[in-house]
Amino acid sequence: MLYTFYETQRTLMEPFADLAQATAKFYGNPLNPISRTQLGHRVSAGYDLLYRLGKDYEKPEFGIRTVQVDGVEVAIHERVEMDKAFCELRRFKRFSDDPATLTKLKNQPVVLVVAPLSGHYATLLRETVRTMLGGHKVYITDWKNARTVPLADGDFHLDGYVNYVQEFIRHLQGKYGNCHVMSVCQPTVPVLAGISLMASRGETTPLSMTMMGGPIDARRSPTAVNNLATERSFEWFENNVIYRVPSKFPGAGRMVYPGFLQHSGFIAMNPDRHATSHYDYFKNLVKGDDASAEAHRKFYDEYNAVLDMDAHYYLQTIRTVFQDFSLVNGTWDVVSPEGKTERVRPQDITGSALFTVEGELDDISGCGQTQAAHDLCSGISAADRQHLEVRGAGHYGIFSGRRWRENVYPQVRDFILAHNTPVALVHKRTGTGGLHVAA
């Protein structure tokens, strides 16, 4: 009922948002004499802000057309490599006419970036992908909005997420021999589970695992997100945040955790910060600071675009990760596509290097939650493990912005390069040891 009410309200607001946009353009049109007055600037800015507060935000594009590789501009062609019911494996293929650059591109490591399925689209990692493309072949999991997936395609569970990750890894291994995996936030848990299961079966595991700002052990430095999951019962989540997709969408009838509820939760965590940001946007429009206004638009075009999650996946994640702590307690069983139940054993991983990254000021995954992976992956040699705590960085700062580009990425790049051959060969070549901690 709530979902239907929300969609009705949004549909009713749509013409008013369009009117606000038209009015903002009218008062801001250079041919209109009032646009050159302070009153015109304020009226145009006010209606522009109303439009952005009331508009519907659709899934953004990655929009990565070119990147720089050692000073040479390289063209990017984005394409879907695999299309699953709930996810697309998306590739960013690089092209160059320069022979030396082309040779360099062919020899660079392959990285699977596993994007979070926690409310936002994979495009939230646009800057992560753009930066990685300078030194890697990059693939990313592009999760679909559950309201667009027909009921005939079945349900999606956390087990399904784990199985997708393994399938994508095997696909890249079959194509390139092996790959590296980077998981950002929520997927650190299912990625560690998937690779653990591969190791337990004796399969070849990725050359390295980079895990950034994820709730491996959500008991450490709990945040408001963690506290909500522990303070409320599982039944509370079932009864209060799960709704049926309305009839206007392809996934009509599917039980989901709606994106608009997740977005409301995001805003509620820092309402003053968002209010200040919108007021600053209004002031920048009035004074003609187009660069700052455009930066605001780009951020909120991404931040306000949210997707629905299948209820089975969402509820299983709440219970497994944030209530039962099944991964760290060693009690997590995953059902394979063949219907076989398997126990997740991170200690069985021996052939993959591990790099964990945390933000000092992360208010979503607290300090220590991701680093906990080192305790679980006891089978990985100390020489193949590294941890980085990024001083002054919040959650988003570890994978986007200046700190990501200048501090985090260079260390991720070097770690991947250092482990771009099977770890057994790295041991023979380097003979080093120790868990490295950088700041």
Can you give the C-alpha Rg of the chain in angstroms? 23
CB count in 10 Å sphere of residue 191: 28
Over residues 135-149, the mean pLDDT reads: 97
Over residues 206-229, the mean pLDDT reads: 94
Structure tokens at 184: 């950002």
CA–CA dist 267, 271 (Å, integer): 5
Give the pLDDT of residue 181: 98
Whether residue 432 has pLDDT greater than 90: no
Distance set, CA 349 to CA 192, 207, 209, 353, 436 (Å) = 9, 11, 11, 9, 19
Are 207 and 423 spatial neighbours (Cβ–Cβ below 8 Å)? yes
Burial call 301-317: b when 16+ CB within 10 Å, e when fewer: ebbbbbbbbbbbbbbbb
Give the pLDDT of residue 423: 60
Structure tokens at 45: 């800015």
Give the pLDDT of residue 93: 97
* 126-137 tens-digit pLDDT: 999 999 999 999
Over residues 24-53, the mean pLDDT reads: 92
Kindly report the pTM of this predicted structure: 0.90
Least Cα distance to 316 among 156, 197, 191 occurs for: 156
* 165-175 tens-digit pLDDT: 999 999 999 99
Portion of the chain with pLDDT greater than 70, in percent: 96
Q: What is the 3-state secondary structure (H, E, C) of the chain?
A: CHHHHHHHHHHHHHHHHHHHHHHHHHHHCCCCHHHHCHHHHHHHHHHHHHHHHHCCCCCCCCCCCEEEECCEEEEEEEEEEEECCCEEEEEEEEECCCHHHHHHHHCCCEEEEECCCCCECHHHHHHHHHHHCCCCEEEEEEECCHHHCCHHHCCCCHHHHHHHHHHHHHHHHHHHCCCEEEEECCCHHHHHHHHHHHHHCCCCCCCEEEEECCCCCCCCCCCHHHHHHHHCCHHHHHHHCCEECCCCCCCCCCEEECHHHHHHHHHHHCHHHHHHHHHHHHHHHHHCCHHHHHHHHHHHHHHCCECCEEHHHHHHHHHHHHHCCHHHHCCCEEECCCCCEEECCHHHCCCCEEEEEEECCCCCCCCCCCCHHHHHCCCCCHHHEEEEEECCCCCHHHCCHHHHHHHHHHHHHHHHHHCCCCHHHHHHHHCCCCCEEEC
Over residues 178-189, the mean pLDDT reads: 97
Are 44 and 28 spatial neighbours (Cβ–Cβ below 8 Å)? yes
Portion of the chain with pLDDT greater than 90, in percent: 84
Over residues 24-30, the mean pLDDT reads: 93
CA–CA dist 408, 410 (Å, integer): 6
Give the pLDDT of residue 188: 98
- 13-22: Cβ within 8 A, 24+ apart: 13/54, 14/54, 14/56, 16/54, 17/50, 17/51, 17/54, 17/55, 17/56, 18/51, 20/47, 20/48, 20/50, 20/51, 20/54, 21/47, 21/48, 21/51, 21/55
Whether residue 245 has pLDDT greater than 50: yes
Give the pLDDT of residue 429: 38
Structure tokens at 68: 């720089």
Give the pLDDT of residue 267: 86
Give the pLDDT of residue 424: 53
Structure tokens at 277: 């940001």
CA–CA dist 111, 125 (Å, integer): 14
Judging by beta carbons within 10 Å of its beta carbon (0-12, 13-18, 19+), is residue 116 exposed, middle or buried?
buried
* 365-384 tens-digit pLDDT: 999 999 999 999 999 999 99
Whether residue 435 has pLDDT greater than 50: no
Give the pLDDT of residue 64: 96
Q: Are strands 137-143 and 341-343 parallel, antiparallel or unpaired?
A: unpaired
Give the pLDDT of residue 389: 97
* 254-292 tens-digit pLDDT: 999 999 998 888 788 788 989 999 999 999 999 999 999
The structural domains of the chain, ordered by start, are: 2-56+272-303 (no CATH), 66-237+309-429 (3.40.50.1820)
Whether residue 87 has pLDDT greater than 80: yes
Over residues 43-59, the mean pLDDT reads: 92
CA–CA dist 395, 386 (Å, integer): 19
Give the pLDDT of residue 264: 86
- Residue 139 backbone phi and psi in degrees, to 5: -125, 150
Structure tokens at 423: 């770890």
Structure tokens at 230: 């522990």
* 101-120 tens-digit pLDDT: 999 999 999 999 999 999 99
